[in-house]
Amino acid sequence: MEGVGFISVYQGAEKVTPTAVITGASSGIGAATAIALGRHGYRVVVGARRVERLERVAGEEGVALPLDVTDEQSVSDFVREVARRFGRIDVLVNNAGGALGLNPLEKAIDDEWIGMWKTNVLGLMWMTRACLPLLRKAKHGHIVNIGSIAGFETYKGGAGYTAVKHAVRAISKTLRLELNGEPIRVTEIAPGLVETEFSLVRFHGDRKAARAVYEGLKPLTADDIADCVLFAVTRPAHVDIDEIVVRPVAQATVWQVARKPSRKRA
């Protein structure tokens, strides 16, 4: 990674520091992405519900603002404050999302499905719609949507999550059509197994169930995904990385994973 310190882009004849907005940035992929972009010279604006964690992620140079992507008013207030402070957005990373539960469809829990749709789909739509005017004020804008290999594949018990991640993929592809001709790039990054708080949230705090997801293999880390985001946004302006699919070596599909047998104590 290149040196720390603000990089500069030109807005007409003016030299400016690029601004990157990252949602769901209090932990995991969002936090790692904010730190990576900040180290590369972006002014980062991080949003999430856990503001005390956000302030540590933002550091001295970044800005931490409360954001609940499932609440349209919260999104509006967040983007209004970004506009007031900076006037434009160069990079928007729609990272907020996640899975809830692992029930078969016949035992689907309404609140889990509604929660996943509001976080992964409606939240992404509200953020993107609100940020587009500010992205258009940048010389080159970039939208990065954090999807999943669950947007390409399905698995038992995953109907709710795979549905929302298929939707993220459809939205990303549609945005490319709708923004064609404008200097705004769209990238979807689709990770496989990444060891973050993802599974802990999915299983409602059951740490044993969450650990079992990653047992017997070396999963991806949040930093691995942050590297993908950094690569995509730092390409020359005429280069659009449409999508990056990234999995741990042990994972062939969303459901087929090679695990080493655990060693039991004698």
Q: Domains of the chain (ranges plus CATH)?
A: 9-246 (3.40.50.720)
pLDDT tens sequence across 181-233? 999 999 999 999 998 877 777 777 878 877 888 888 999 999 999 999 999 99
Instruction: Give the three-state DSSP class for 251.
Output: strand
pLDDT greater than 80 at residue 108: yes
Give residues with Cβ within 8 angstroms of 118, minimum separation 6: 69, 70
Nearest residue to 226 (alpha-carbon basis) of 88, 39, 75? 39
pLDDT tens sequence across 110-130? 999 999 999 999 999 999 999
Give residues with Cβ within 8 angstroms of 140, minimum separation 6: 9, 90, 183, 184, 185, 237
Distance CA 88, CA 80 (A): 11
Instruction: Give the three-state DSSP class for 126.
Output: helix
Give the pLDDT mean for 167-178: 98
What single-letter amino acid sits at 144? V
Nearest residue to 43 (alpha-carbon basis) of 86, 81, 14? 86
- Beta-strand ranges (E) seen in the chain are 9-11, 14-16, 19-23, 43-48, 63-66, 91-94, 141-146, 184-191, 243-246
Active-site option among 10, 42, 155, 161: 161
Residue 44 forms beta bridges with which residues?
20
Poorest-pLDDT segment among 1-15, 24-38, 173-187: 1-15
pLDDT value for 233 = 98
Confidence of residue 171 (pLDDT cuts 50, 70, 90): very high
Exposed (0-12), middle (13-18) or buried (19+): which is 29, by Cβ within 10 Å?
A: buried
Structural contact between residues 98 and 149, judged by C-beta atoms closer than 8 angstroms: no
161 assigned to active site? yes
| Gyration radius (Cα) of the chain, Å | 18
**Using CA atoms in the order 202, 204, 208, 209, what is the torsion angle rounded to 10 degrees?**
-40
pLDDT greater than 70 at residue 23: yes
Confidence of residue 9 (pLDDT cuts 50, 70, 90): low
Residue that the structure tokens 């299983």 belong to? 203
pLDDT greater than 80 at residue 3: no
> Which range, 2-11, 75-84, 95-104, is most confident?
75-84
**Cα distances (Å, whole numbers) of residue 135 to 88, 92, 208:** 6, 8, 42
pLDDT value for 234 = 98
Give residues with Cβ within 8 angstroms of 83, minimum separation 6: 133, 134
Structural contact between residues 37 and 91, judged by C-beta atoms closer than 8 angstroms: yes
pLDDT value for 15 = 67
pLDDT value for 135 = 98
C-alpha angle 73-68-201 in degrees, rounded to nearest 5: 150
Q: What percent of the chain has pLDDT over 70?
A: 92
